[in-house]
Structure 1
Amino acid sequence: MMVRNYIGPTEWEDDIINEVTGKVTYEGTPLDETNMNNIENGILVAHLDIGLAAQMALQLSRWNVLEIERYKKQKFLQGASTITSSGSNGYFRSADPFVQVSLKGFAQLNAPNYDVQLSITSGDTGLAGDLEVYDKTQNGFKVRMTGSAKSVSFLWTLLNPNI
């Protein structure tokens, strides 16, 4: 069905009939093909407008769901990583071993103002020393080990309450 020649709403007028003679003194709006097609075209336009409004509402709803999901993923992220020490005799080394942790998904909007909690899960835990988070960026951070362990695995939890 195609909208053709929709000219807007019709001002409908009644026939005025003389009560004494029964004759029509004023001819009202005719109930003819042109006026009936205008009614149908107006209904079709209304349906198209409602369909367009419904489509826009669905798109906005989907956008809101994606935005909420994005904010959820920026507030709380978890992962695991391992730091492996290389080239050390156990006492001396030129730099602390570290690992670069890359964040998957959305960038952290307020970097470096987020917190990272670390929990050692396996490895030479007694020799690990401290695990320190540094160089926080929108797409990741680094974790440095200050101890003399050969390898330490840890769980990291990123908390970003200001998003």
Structure 2
Amino acid sequence: MKPYNLKQWQDHIVDELTGEVIQEGTPVSATNLNNMETGILGADGFASVLIQQAMQSKRSIADLEGELVEVSLSNTMSYPFNNSETTVALQKARDTLNYRVLTEVLSSNGFVGDIEVYDKALNGFKIRYTGSATSATIKCFIQGGMFQ
């Protein structure tokens, strides 16, 4: 596509009394009109690229946003058995299962072991620990999976 050439259009001005042409107007021609069409096409293509970039930026920002959830888990069984599983509902449903759950033990009554996040869904996930603790409070930071 060739670059757009700005055209300074001139009005055609005629003296009403004498009929004398005071200023020649810019002719309406295929050349001038095609120049406008080229400019419109270029601007439309450029706008499409900018919209795509803005949407990608919005997706990237949404993917960085996260939510923080505090989960209290309890286990009433004796080691090596454990029934600490619970379901965590997400405040914002995700568009994909490609989200991350980062966990941190805030407190516990015994050995927590590993923290397992599994059975992800668009609106939540399950969490449990594997150790012998009778209770644990887990902080979960959920990030990603959102395309707004």
Normalised by the shorter chain, which TM-score bucket?
0.5 to 0.7
Whole-Å separation in 1 of the counterparts to 2:146 and 2:62: 13
Verify the 8 A CA contact 2:62 2:144 in the aligned structure 1.
no
1:83 paired with 2:67, answer no
Whole-Å separation in 1 of the counterparts to 2:63 and 2:14: 63
* TM score, norm. by length of structure 1: 0.49
Percent of residue pairs bearing the same amino acid type: 28
- Structure 1 residues 104 and 161: CA distance shift in structure 2, 3 A: closer
Over aligned residue pairs, what C-alpha RMSD do you find? 3.5
- 1:85 to partner: Cα distance: 1.8
**Equivalent in 98, 101, 110 of residue 88 of structure 2:** 101
Whole-Å separation in 2 of the counterparts to 1:102 and 1:116: 12
Whole-Å separation in 2 of the counterparts to 1:116 and 1:141: 9
Question: In the alignment, which residue of structure 2 is the partner of 1:155?
Answer: 139
Whole-Å separation in 2 of the counterparts to 1:99 and 1:74: 25
- Structure 1 residues 157 and 83: CA distance shift in structure 2, 3 A: same
- 1:142 to partner: Cα distance: 0.9
* TM score, norm. by length of structure 2: 0.53
Whole-Å separation in 1 of the counterparts to 2:104 and 2:135: 14
Give the letter for the 1:81 counterpart: V
Matches within 5 A, 1:7-156: 14-17=15-18, 68=58, 72-77=61-66, 78-86=68-76, 88=77, 90-91=78-79, 93=81, 96-105=83-92, 107-111=93-97, 113-124=98-109, 126-156=110-140
Following superposition, which runs of at least 4 residues in structure 1 exceed 6 angstroms of deviation?
Answer: none
- Structure 1 residues 120 and 161: CA distance shift in structure 2, 3 A: same
Verify the 8 A CA contact 2:96 2:145 in the aligned structure 1.
no
How many residues align? The count is: 103
RCO (CA 8 Å, sep 6+): is it higher in 1 or 2?
2
- Structure 1 residues 82 and 162: CA distance shift in structure 2, 3 A: same
- Structure 1 residues 73 and 155: CA distance shift in structure 2, 3 A: farther
